[in-house]
Amino acid sequence: MTSFLSASALPDEYEQLRRTVEEFAREVVAPVAAEHDENKTFPYEVVRGMAGMGLFGLPFPEEHGGMGGDYFALCVALEELGKVDQSVAMTLEAAVSLGAMPIYRFGTDEQKQAWLPQLASGARLGAFGLTEPGAGSDAGGTRTTARLDNGEWVINGSKQFITNSGTDITELVTVTAVTGTTGSGKKEISTIIVPAGTPGFTVQPAYSKVGWHASDTHPLSFDDVRVPEANLLGAAGRGYANFLSILDEGRIAIAAVGTGVAQGCVDECVRYAKERTAFGKPIGENQAIAFKIARMEARAAASRAAYYDAAALMLSGKPFKKAASIAKLVSSEAAMDNARDATQVFGGYGYMNEYRVARHYRDSKILEIGEGTTEVQLMLIARELGL
C-alpha cells in the first residue's frame, strides 16, 4: 500500500483503471456535462456507461456481482470523474459508499443476495436516508420512527438532502429510525431498508440547488410505510453507530472527488493560461498568474497525498478515522479554494456557466458540508488528538 502514496507510481492495475476512467470522463462525461447542468437532468446515459465499465461494483467481491477490487480503486475512479463533473462523481460515490456499502458491511446473507448484485451492477441505485430537518450530525435529533407490528416495521417521518433517492432506477433507500430507547433512556436508532415504490413512501420534488444540478437529491416522507421485519439492516440499535463507520470510509471517497476537482481546476487553468494572451503575451507568463496556479497545484497534491494515506491505512486494517477526516477537510477546502482561484484566472469567462471552472465554483461548496461538515471534521481530528 505504500506505493499508493505516489500518483506517479500507481500499481499497473490501478493505473490502467485511472486511464480508462480518464478517457471515459473526457469523451463521454465532459461533452454532456454542461447540458445536464443547465437543464438539471439526471445523466442516465452516463450512468449506463459507468455501469457497463463495472464502476459501481469496484469495491465488491465477484460473488456479490462486483469487480473484486477495493475501496482505493473506487477512489481512483472518483478522482478522474471529479475533474470534469462533480454531479456524475457524486452519483457514483453515493451509490456505492452510501447505497450499497451498508448492505455489504452489515447485511445478512439474504439481504446481500437480494440487493447487492443489482446495486453492484449499476442497473439500480441505492440511497441512504440519514439527514432530517433537525438531525444529521446530531443523532439525538432523529424523529423518524419505526415500530414493529405483526412482523412488519411501520415507519413514519421524513428525511432531507437524500442523493439518488428519486431516479427512475432507484431501488431502495436505507433509513435511520428510532426503534426504541436504550437502558439509559437515549434513543435506540436502527437502519431499515425501504424499497422504492413502497406504499406510503413518497419522494418529494427535487431541490433547487446552487450546484450539483445533475445529481438527484430529494426530501423523502414516510407515512405508515410497512416493510418486512427482515428489512432491518444490522442489529437493532446499531444503526447510527454502523453508519458512522460508513461515513469514515465515505470521507475518503469524498476526498478523492475533492482532489479531482482541485486537479481539474489546475488543468483548466494551465491550458487557459497558455492560450489566453494579454498585453502581447500569454497570461501564464505573468508571475501573479503562474504563482496562483502553482499554489493550486500544491493544494491538489496535498489533497491527493492525504486521501492516499487514509486509503492505505483503511485497506491495511489500521485505524484511519483521523486520516479520513484530514483527507476530507484538506480536499474539500482545496476544491473550494482552487475553484475560486480558477474563476479568477479565467476572469469574465470564469463566470460563464459554459466553462467548467464556473460549474466547479458553484459545485464545490457542498464538499465542505456533505458527509460531515468542515466543523465536524475539525471536531473529530481534535478528538483523536485527545482534546
Supply angle C-alpha 239, 75, 203, rounded to 5.
Answer: 45
Q: What are phi and psi of 178, to 5 degrees?
A: -80, 120
Q: Is 245 exposed, middle or buried (0-12, 13-18, 19+ CB in 10 A)?
A: middle
Nine-digit cell string for 134: 433537525
Separation CA 311–CA 314 (nearest Å) = 5
Nine-digit cell string for 169: 432506477
Q: Which of 62, 371, 375, 384 is catalytic?
A: 371
Give the three-class secondary structure for 97: helix
Nine-digit cell string for 88: 456524475
Give the three-class secondary structure for 1: coil
Residue 371 annotated to the active site: yes
The sign of the dihedral angle between the CA atoms of 247, 213, 77, 9 is: negative
- Whether residue 306 contacts residue 258, with contact meaning beta carbons closer than 8 Å, is answered with no
Residues identified as active-site: 371
